[in-house]
Every structure is written in C-alpha cells, then in structure tokens.
Structure 1
C-alpha cells in the first residue's frame, strides 16, 4: 500500500478544516464546513468536528469490514454527536458539518462512499479516469450564487453577498431538494453516493477536497486525466501547488468567480498497482 498525502490551509493564519488519513486497506477525507465566521453553536469548532468524525469513521470501516460504508458513517456521526451534544447546541442551524469521501478494499473490490462536494478520482489500469462527485451542493449553489459571482472576491460587497448566500445554503442543508452533508443527524449517511469497483481494474484512487479539485472543475486548467498524470509523476504537493498558483493569479475572482480566493486543499493519493 503506497499512499501520498498533502494538505494546505487556505492561509498560514487559518486553521485547516480538512482531514485525511489512511489505514491498511482504507482511507478517508473530510472537508469541514461552517458558515463563514458565523457562530456555530459548537464550542469545539469545525476542524474538531471533521477530524473527530474522520478518525472515528476510519476506525469503523477498518474494524467492521463487513458493515456497509454508509452504516459506518451513520454510526460515526452518532458517536460524534454523543461526544458534544451535552455541551454544544446541535440544533443550531449553522452547527459544524463536513463532506465525506471514504474507500475500503475487500473481496477483490474497492468500496466507496462520497457525501458532499469532495471527490474520488479512480484511475484505471488502461489509463482512463472516472470521477465520483456529489453534485447536489453544486446544483443548489448555482441557483443561489449569482449575486456573489459578479463581485470582486474579498470586497465588502462580496463578503456581504457571500454571507447571504451561505445563509440561504444552510437552509437547504440535509433536506429534499437541497443537499446532504455529515452533521448532527446520522440519517444524512443514507443519502451518500456509494458503489464498488473491481480492484484489479484500478491503478490508483485519489480522494480530494474541493479546494484541490479547483484546478479541474473551477479553473479548467487541466482535465482529470492530466490531474491523474500529475499525481503519478509528481504527487499531491504538485497538484496543490498548481491550484495555489492559479489562485494567486486571480486574487479578486475576476477570471474564476468563487466564494473564497483560496480554500483548504487536501489530496490523498493511493497507488494500488
């Protein structure tokens, strides 16, 4: 098992709210989310939530190999809830949440789960790529973010529009017609995208937070096959470096409108063959 992991916070003064880890035959990546500086109702914070959930999920999927990933995620969400429901207000609409990407090998197959807008890049032995991304958050966001995208990133007007956008987005979290993400309610795990792929068909599997997928899906400076080639030749650090280079060249979001000029970026690249 060969795993390479790279992660960078949005800025040197910012806490990294992404979490990624691997164990023999399994890996997880989570991208924590709050509501842009707003009160969350949780005294622990977003990074604590994503890191705690990620650690518990990795333990669950490795110690209970016959249990489906979605059930492992539901159990882990319930455990995290039990750790802080007595000290934190988990009914608060802006309580911490996290995307989840998880994979596990067994029985000649790779089992996967994706919830929220993190992505799973599957490179097959023939040189092709398949990407698994939960697009429900993107679909909802496109309906709401028009006023944000016409303003310079980081301007006072952009900041105000972004706060309104995030507030509207929070109102659609974990409900039909909206999007699904790991939060206080274990039932969100029922809505994860899941599947299996024959293990012998894969050369590698890569888990990426949306801050790392920007090079492809936001900036369109590479396609997934090119991104896979970068990962194989130079590793996750190089992919994130290219993301940061593009962000630095468009600090105001004029070329690529976006909520954050820079975002936490994490890549876990697992070579299988």
Structure 2
C-alpha cells in the first residue's frame, strides 16, 4: 500500500480526537465528537472512544473479509460498549460519538462505508474525483445553527449559542429525521452510506475528517479536483497547512461562520497503483 497520512489537532497543545490507520487493503478514519463544554458521562473521553473504535474496526475489517463493513462496524461498536459500559454512563446525552469512514480493497472492488460528516474522495482514472459525504448532519444543522452563525466565533455569546445548538443537535442523534453517527448503539451502522467501486477504475482513495475538508465545503476556496491536486503534490500536510492559513485569516468567523475557529484535521491519501 502506498499511503500518506497527516493529522493535526485544532490547537497545538490540544488533544486530537481524530483517528486514522491502515492495514493491508483496509483504511479507516474517525472524527470523535461530544457536546461542547459538557461532561460526556465517559471517564475515558472522546479521543479514547474514536481511537478504540477505529482500532477495533480496522482489526475486524481485516480479519473478517466475508463480513460487510457495516457488520464489522456494528461488531466494533458492541465491543467498545462492552469495554466501558460498566464504568461509564452510556445513556448520557453527551456520550462520546464518532464519524466513520472505512474502505476495504477486495480482489476486484473497493468496498466503502461513510457515517457522519467525514468524507471519502474517490479519484476515477477517467472521470475525476467523486466525494461521498453523509449530509444528514449538515441538513439538520442548517435548521438549528442560525443563532450560532450570527455571532463572532470565540465570543462568550457564540459559546453560549453553540452549547445550545450542540445540545439540540444531540437530541436528534441516531433518530429518524435526524442524523446517524457511531455511538453506544450498534444499530447506527445500518444507516451508513455504503457501496462498492471497481478497483481498476480508481487511481486514489482519500479519507478526510471535516476539519480537512473546510477548504471545499466551508470556505469555498478549492474544488475537489483542486484538493486532489494538492494531495498529489504536497500531501496531507500541505492540505492541512492551507486550511490553517484560511482559518487564521478569519479568526472570528465573520467571513465563514463556524462552530470552532480551528478543528482537528486529518487526511489519509491512498494511491492505487495500476
């Protein structure tokens, strides 16, 4: 496998709640989430949840190729639950959750799974890149985040509005009409976006947390083909540098309203050789 991986926390001294890893023929990326400023009910924390779930998913998807990625994710969610349900309150509204992107190469096809607002970028050898993103969280968020976007990022008023928004969002988590994300319940895996693509049609596969896709879907400073070109020339490090440069130019979110001035950013770029 020819894989380049880059990841950076939102703040230099902060904990990175993203997780990405590879095994032969398999790659996963998770973006851990909680409710801003709230207790999680979990003694381990969000980074523990995303890394533990990601590691188990990678292992399960590698060791059990006959099971679908959705089945592997459900198995992994159950396994994580068993690790801490005796010590943590998994019924708590702010219990840790995570987006999931996973891909697995078979003999002729690439199987993929996307759950939550992280993205998968599939580069077709003849047609250019196609992004697979679960937009259900974005669709719900647009209905709720008006008061947040009207305030300067980082201000006390913005923090209060963001906390209310995140709390309302949590009430719609893993419910019909809301959005789906990996948390304590394995049923969420059934609602992931899944599919297969012929391997011979692909030149590369890229897994991206939403902190790394901001140039495209938040700032509008790049297209997916331009993002792919950056990854091909400078790799994930250059992509994340450009995201940080844009964030630094709009620290209070006036040009680009957003919940956090900076976010954990991770990109895993897998080049598929002919």
| Secondary structure class of the residue paired with 2:113 | strand
Q: Which runs of 5+ in 2 are unaligned?
A: none
Q: Give 1:84's aligned residue.
A: 84
Task: Indicate the residue corresponding to 1:177 in structure 2.
Answer: 177
- 1:50-199 matched pairs, under 5 angstroms: 50-126=50-126, 128-199=128-199
Structure 2 CA distance, aligned partners of 1:156 and 1:232? 40
Query: Following TM superposition, by how much is the alpha carbon of 1:14 offset from its aligned partner in structure 2, in angstroms?
Result: 1.2
Task: Quote the residue 1:28 is aligned against.
Answer: 28
Cα pair 2:111 2:196 within 8 Å, conserved: yes
In 2: Cα distance, 1:227 partner to 1:89 partner: 40
Q: For residue 251 of structure 2, what is the aligned residue in structure 1?
A: 251
Counterparts of 1:37 and 1:182, CA distance in 2: 20
Give SS of 2:213's match.
helix
Residue number in structure 2 paired with 1:208:
208
- Measure, in 2, the Cα distance between the counterparts of 1:234 and 1:126: 22
> Could you tell me how far apart the structure 2 residues matched to 1:197 and 1:24 are?
18
Do the aligned residues in 1 keep the contact of 2:37 with 2:163 (CA within 8 Å)? no
Structure 2: distance between partners of 1:107 and 1:192: 23
CA contact (8 A) 2:129 2:225 kept: yes
Report how far residue 37 of structure 1 moved: 2.3
Give, in angstroms, the shift of residue 107 of structure 1.
2.6
How far has the Cα of 1:127 moved from its partner? 5.3
Q: Distance in 1 between matches of 2:48 and 2:55?
A: 11
Taking structure 1 as the reference length, the TM-score comes to 0.99
| 1:16 Cα offset (Å) | 0.2
Q: How many residues align?
A: 273
User: CA offsets, 1:123-160, max 9 Å, x none?
Assistant: 11125110000000000000000000010000010000
Match of 1:38 in 2: 38
Determine helix, strand or coil for the equivalent of 1:36: coil
SS class of match (2:177): coil
Q: Where do 4+ consecutive residues of structure 1 move more than 4 Å?
A: none
Instruction: Give distance in 1, aligned partners of 2:203 and 2:265.
Output: 23
CA RMSD of aligned residues (A): 0.6
